[in-house]
Structure 1
Amino acid sequence: MSTPVPPPAPDDPLARERAHLVSSRSALRAMREDAEALDIADVTANWVNAAVLQRQIEDRVKALADLSGTPLFFGRLDYLHAPGAEAAEGAGGERFYIGRRHVHDAAGDPMVIDWRAPVSQPFYRASPKDPMDIGLRRRFGYTGGDLTAYEDEHLSDPAEAAATSRLLQREIERPRVGPMRDIVATIQPEQDEIVRAGLSGSVCVQGGPGTGKTAVGLHRVAYLLYAHRERLARTGTLVVGPNRSFLHYIEQVLPALGELTVRQATVDDLVAHVEVRGTDDPATAAVKGDARMALVLRRALYAGITPPAEPVVVVRGSRHWRLPAHEVAEIVGGLLERDIRYGAAREALPQRIAHAVLVRMERAGEAPDDRVQDAVARNTAVKAAVKAVWPQADPAKLVHRLLSDPDHLAEHAEGVFDADEQKALLWARPARSVRSARWSPADAVLIDEAADLIERTPSLGHVVLDEAQDLSPMQYRAVGRRCTTGSVTVLGDLAQGTTPWATRSWAEALAHLGKADAMVEELTAGFRVPTDVIAYASRLLPHIAPGLAPVESVRENPGFFEVRAATGTDDVTGACRELLAREGSVGLIAADARVPELAGALAAAGLAPLAPGEETTRESRLTLVPASLAKGLEYDYVVLDEPGAVVDGEPDERTGLRRLYVCLTRAVSGLIVTHAAALPAQLG
């Protein structure tokens, strides 16, 4: 039952908009009730179909949830004429409310239009120079879930339309409490172009801190699911992030947009063929992550194929059918020339041998059929020949032998890795078996590469790869295998690469992914980091990424920024307490080695911090963040402890300065830098 809405006063626009919000929420509730009331008892023919349909209905009900505190619509478009033919809902002079999901009334007429629909596009792209047939664009302001303000842009009046939107600025600068939220109300034209790029093409987004690249990638997934739902429902979508804390931080964005089926994972999750219990030093991890390892693995795998030494003799009744060794060798050579997966070729080999035997049978006057060929392929002699010539391969055993047998590695790495690199690859204490091996994350990636050489990795329809600048070439290959027939959205910032193998150029990274023709876009407008903070952090750019342009903050509020000398941890905890007096979340970021000491100091001060990725609340707003986990996270206010220790905590100065750049740019509203030791000279 919908709630009757009293008619608003004719001269009160805000009251009319509030009445439309009440009506829209009522209509959404009716849509959800209709979905919940669906009876599928007589629709499906079997229990499997019934289970699938019931799951679809449950997902539909979840997608129609009216989230508390989340505006149902955030904008309005008044068209001058009928929208284009692609927007069938459009009519001359019609008005559309733009929101996170489509809502219609009992008659099926739209009350809120999905932000991804073609008719919604001018909300993000219309301008005085190109009004896109929009007479008025209205933005709405909310306090909690209550509509409290509106702001109009008359695009036919350049003077009025050129003014900065106060509501837009307020939404961008709104305090961050809780997990990452969507940006559907604030998507900018350059971001919208990336979001709405077609499914067939891959996109790489280079963006500095606060340019919204992560949000753009997530909203691109939501858009593609809207525009190509049936195709992506079959092929699947995946978001790959750098760590679990990051994935937990972003996990609510897509559900808030009504998308519940997108899988999220780290690269380690994708390659989890073995239990990872070991670690590598940076030099060893860099060699294992080198793209040349793919060639070594291929050599080692195919070296197991040996030329046949004996003919294959198949006994059928009283007849013996003999296939000479040279003919078997020709069959093996033909399969190798086809360059199909090792496992697929091995499965094809007995059928090829059986076919050659059948040819002999036919020449002798017999008339064998397909059943005879299948029987010959299963013959003991044929099986023995296949086992001897093309042995079954296990990816973990393949990698185990390479990393534990110096002679075996030298044989297959000759001309690829020099002696020092081969020494770095070998385990210091070789494991006796696959099960007892202390596999490292880099080893798991090698096993994944070997597994793909044997059996093709299934491809998804679209993959989003975030914080990509930190991946090794072999990790890029692992992700690329998951989208060989699909597309990818790569998100990253070359200046924030903090691994020894960090990406040097996007062209190189895209080649490893198998997407060399991907379009590269650069975002330089900063919406998250305040002007004074990004200006301070940008002092490091000439030392860590000389070719990149600094981010230009578009925020009117310069933010709160201060560098303080500290004499001990009391000064650090005092800075945290000072910032907690303000509205919003607070992050204390420190070098990993200093985290235990600071955790103790916070506890002594009566401040109980959260761990990275844990959801902040109104009551618990302080998070203690090791520098190694800060990437991708954001807080309203940040206290950065001892920048020099952050730099010193990395293997080399360049990597340390990049880590410092990441830590300096996590603040949304303000930053306090505390230090007892000297600041890095590069900060000026």
Structure 2
Amino acid sequence: MSAEPTELADERVYLAGARAALARMRQQTLATEARGGDAIAAEYLAATLHRRAESLRDDPTGTLFFGRIDQSDPQAGAERWYIGRRHVADQHGDPLVVDWRADVSTAFYRASRAEPMGVTLRRRFGVDRGELTAYEDEHLSDPAEVTGDSRIVASEIERPRVGPMRDIVATIQPEQDEIVRADVATTVCVQGAPGTGKTAVGLHRAAWLLYAFRDRLSRTGVLVIGPNRAFLDHIGAVLPALGEVRVTHTTIEELLESVRVRAVDDSDVAVLKGDPRLAEVLRRAVWSRVREPTEALVVPRGSRKWRVPAHEVRDIVAELRTRGIRYDAARQMLARRLAHAVLLQMERSGDSPDDRVQDAVARSTPVTRYAKSLWPQLDPRHVLFDLLSDPVELARHADGLLDPRERELLLWTQPPRTRGAARWTSADTVLLDEIAALLNRPTSLGHVVLDEAQDLSPMQLRAVGRRCATSSATVLGDIGQGTTPWATDSWAESMTHLGKPEGHLEVLDRGFRVPAAVIEYAARLLPRMAPGLGAPVSVRENPGRLEVRAVGEERLLESLVEVVRKACGEPGSVGVILADDQVPKASTALTAAGLAHLVLGLDHGDTSEHPHQVLVVPARVAKGLEFDRVVVLEPAAIAEAEPDERTGLRRLYVILTRAVTELTVLHTRELPAELADSPDASTAPTHATA
């Protein structure tokens, strides 16, 4: 028998032993009796044991480890470590598999022949339905020696996709691992071109932080913010697969939704409401509600009346306004400061009041009524309603900040008769959140992962920054994929609005997901839509397939059915991406042809449990998704649906880079000039006419 099959057989025996050990660990957890000092403690312990047991459940479709490193240390001797998604120990507590997040696993991802980190051999395993099928060895001490299957990493990256995003623990690259393991106190901004794995890196960073700083983050929480619900559904399985289930996923709209959204702003109004100057307008509007005292405070107590003159109250109010605390905190302090002024008068008259007297005075009706008249309690909706409905009020607070045309844009053209009838927009919810933060300090979470951050307005970034004001963030995005009218052109500016100007910028430009033929075609748009932004480079061995086909208008849907039917004959997912208003016609044509599919953004239900091979994707929800084969219909219609040319081209760039294996473009109208021309025949796409 050859050495290689023997090696593989030995590894399979080791895997069987690790599976048995994991089953024993889970059984021991299930057998542990939840005893506590009281019923609540016992219930908490039971819940903890249940979560522990669920994390130890074996997945027969996967393997417990995907790699191995052999290390040689002059003092410690030779050591061997198997790297997997979770820690598995034998009955003596010795590790059979170490968690990919453990310190010892770092060498698996970063060791190289230039810096071997004590690693003599790195082994990667090929896996199929839970079985080890192959292995690849790198002998870091002997560059000339490579054994086993050299395509394991490439095969894992290119494996067909159906259902939600998978984790990438088996294929994390050294530059990605540097970001994943950045310290919890470090805010990292990742500029990542399509297919560079920036979303996966952000999620794996969250998983690593929860492992390395479990106690701190389990108390303060981790939040993942994505661009839309379809995107969150797509990535929702990654962290649970890594053993982390207590992470909240939300969109920016859901995060800030404090009122029912019943209207939509015009683009220019929405851009203005996202402008950072609005923060100062709102600050002025809030603090203008504090009134100057014109009368003295009079407090009857017993047979005497104590009087605090208006000028003294004015000094107290002025001092509170300059302390840099929130509006409501200062409002609550005012009554105690007034009571303290009364106590000083009592002491000067010979009395000896204590803290109980001060508390009683602070709670007395004369003091609370007087304090409320100077420092009223505010509701964010009332403040914003008054600002948007009253031109005098807006002009007063926007003086020197907004010009007359901008103030006119902000004002409601037909102000609601009552505050309850206001038709709030999504942009208004951001302003309401800003006002709420002026009133009370929001809770800061342990860590925030913000994806597609290039699409957030400055005011939205301020809102996210408040959720991690005392902690760190992982900011992910691509300036080239900015598709909102307020999309950023500068990460430095965005990080300043987020409140993290010290954030460390990392650039990922090696594309592992998008094949070369596709990324080079899409990158033709970059000089026109994002000058100065470097083009990504695909490192895939498989160049992929690209076909650009011009068809007659009457044959567009017929050609779509033809391409999708052919794609369904291959393994993996199929994404049909088109302008939003074309979705119904395309869906109807696919249904008539007997091609089952799901329409993202319209169909409901858990798509992860019942995955469809074919997904029809409106252009507005395509960002962040990936499919083995993508069919793009009528690029011109997709671009024209956006408010301006730059945004339209960026939307098209996003859509063209969703393919992992194959991209087919069907069009009846002229393509953008950059996509129609093929100056370099060696990289030109296949053009066809039907």
TM-score by length of 2: 0.95
- Find the counterpart in structure 2 of residue 68 from structure 1: 60
Deviation of 1:164 after TM superposition, in Å, equals: 9.6
**Alignment check: 8 A CA contact 1:593 1:649 kept:** no
Deviation of 1:160 after TM superposition, in Å, equals: 3.2
Aligned mates of 2:450, 2:65 — CA distance in 1? 29
Q: Aligned pair 1:38/2:23, yes or no?
A: no
1:380 to 337, 353, 365: 365
Aligned mates of 1:620, 1:489 — CA distance in 2? 31
Aligned mates of 1:396, 1:205 — CA distance in 2? 36
- Find the counterpart in structure 1 of residue 586 from structure 2: 598
- Find the counterpart in structure 1 of residue 488 from structure 2: 503
- Find the counterpart in structure 1 of residue 684 from structure 2: none
**Alignment check: 8 A CA contact 2:573 2:613 kept:** yes
Tell me, what secondary structure is at the counterpart of 1:152?
A: strand
Deviation of 1:546 after TM superposition, in Å, equals: 1.3
Deviation of 1:433 after TM superposition, in Å, equals: 3.2
With over 3 angstroms needed to count, the CA separation of the structure-2 counterparts of 1:149 and 1:9, relative to structure 1, is closer
- Find the counterpart in structure 2 of residue 673 from structure 1: 665
Deviation of 1:414 after TM superposition, in Å, equals: 1.4
Q: Aligned pair 1:203/2:188, yes or no?
A: yes
- Find the counterpart in structure 2 of residue 559 from structure 1: 544
Deviation of 1:434 after TM superposition, in Å, equals: 3.5
- Find the counterpart in structure 1 of residue 96 from structure 2: 111
- Find the counterpart in structure 2 of residue 575 from structure 1: 563
Deviation of 1:435 after TM superposition, in Å, equals: 2.8
Aligned mates of 2:426, 2:343 — CA distance in 1? 49
Aligned 1:76-475 pairs, distance under 5 A: 76-81=68-73, 91-160=76-145, 165-475=150-460
Tell me, what secondary structure is at the counterpart of 1:94?
A: strand
Paired letter, 1:66: D
Aligned mates of 2:674, 2:534 — CA distance in 1? 17
- Find the counterpart in structure 2 of residue 3 from structure 1: none
Structure 1: runs of 5+ lacking an equivalent: 1-7, 84-90
Paired letter, 1:379: S
Superposition CA RMSD, Å: 1.7
CA displacement 1:134-188 (0-9 Å, x = unmatched): 1111100011111111111111112336999410111111111110000000000
Q: Aligned pair 1:22/2:16, yes or no?
A: yes
Aligned mates of 1:68, 1:433 — CA distance in 2? 60
Aligned mates of 2:425, 2:666 — CA distance in 1? 36
1:612 to 600, 609, 613: 600
Aligned mates of 1:232, 1:318 — CA distance in 2? 57
CA displacement 1:616-652 (0-9 Å, x = unmatched): 7898300000111100000000000011111111111
- Find the counterpart in structure 1 of residue 680 from structure 2: none
CA displacement 1:524-545 (0-9 Å, x = unmatched): 0000000000000000000111
Deviation of 1:47 after TM superposition, in Å, equals: 2.4
**Alignment check: 8 A CA contact 1:63 1:260 kept:** no
Tell me, what secondary structure is at the counterpart of 2:137?
A: strand
1:653 to 621, 645, 651: 645
Aligned residue pairs, count: 668
Aligned mates of 2:273, 2:60 — CA distance in 1? 48
**Alignment check: 8 A CA contact 1:616 1:622 kept:** no
Aligned mates of 1:402, 1:602 — CA distance in 2? 50
Aligned mates of 1:110, 1:201 — CA distance in 2? 30
**Alignment check: 8 A CA contact 1:9 1:15 kept:** no
With over 3 angstroms needed to count, the CA separation of the structure-2 counterparts of 1:617 and 1:528, relative to structure 1, is farther
Paired letter, 1:31: M
- Find the counterpart in structure 1 of residue 686 from structure 2: none
Paired letter, 1:413: A
**Alignment check: 8 A CA contact 2:134 2:149 kept:** no
Tell me, what secondary structure is at the counterpart of 1:127?
A: coil
Aligned mates of 1:641, 1:11 — CA distance in 2? 48
Paired letter, 2:579: A
Paired letter, 2:263: G
- Find the counterpart in structure 2 of residue 523 from structure 1: 508
Aligned mates of 2:566, 2:544 — CA distance in 1? 15
Aligned mates of 1:125, 1:371 — CA distance in 2? 64
- Find the counterpart in structure 2 of residue 87 from structure 1: none
Deviation of 1:70 after TM superposition, in Å, equals: 2.2
With over 3 angstroms needed to count, the CA separation of the structure-2 counterparts of 1:286 and 1:33, relative to structure 1, is same
- Which stretch of the first structure deviates more once superposed, 325-334 or 432-441? 432-441
Aligned mates of 1:423, 1:156 — CA distance in 2? 71
Aligned mates of 1:550, 1:11 — CA distance in 2? 43
Tell me, what secondary structure is at the counterpart of 1:121?
A: helix
Tell me, what secondary structure is at the counterpart of 1:245?
A: helix
Tell me, what secondary structure is at the counterpart of 1:640?
A: strand
1:632 to 624, 632, 638: 624
Aligned mates of 1:360, 1:311 — CA distance in 2? 14
CA displacement 1:598-623 (0-9 Å, x = unmatched): 11111111112212276378983000
**Alignment check: 8 A CA contact 2:335 2:371 kept:** yes
CA displacement 1:97-135 (0-9 Å, x = unmatched): 000010001110100000011111111001111111111
Aligned mates of 1:482, 1:327 — CA distance in 2? 38
- Which stretch of the first structure deviates more once superposed, 639-648 or 428-437? 428-437
- Which stretch of the first structure deviates more once superposed, 171-180 or 157-166? 157-166
**Alignment check: 8 A CA contact 2:107 2:119 kept:** yes
Structure 2: runs of 5+ lacking an equivalent: 678-690
Aligned mates of 1:517, 1:557 — CA distance in 2? 39
Aligned mates of 1:468, 1:541 — CA distance in 2? 19
Tell me, what secondary structure is at the counterpart of 2:638?
A: helix
**Alignment check: 8 A CA contact 1:177 1:618 kept:** no
Identity rate, percent: 57
With over 3 angstroms needed to count, the CA separation of the structure-2 counterparts of 1:578 and 1:265, relative to structure 1, is same
With over 3 angstroms needed to count, the CA separation of the structure-2 counterparts of 1:612 and 1:10, relative to structure 1, is closer
Deviation of 1:219 after TM superposition, in Å, equals: 0.3
CA displacement 1:61-80 (0-9 Å, x = unmatched): 22212123222100001111
CA displacement 1:434-454 (0-9 Å, x = unmatched): 332211111011101100000
With over 3 angstroms needed to count, the CA separation of the structure-2 counterparts of 1:617 and 1:450, relative to structure 1, is closer
Aligned mates of 1:37, 1:473 — CA distance in 2? 53
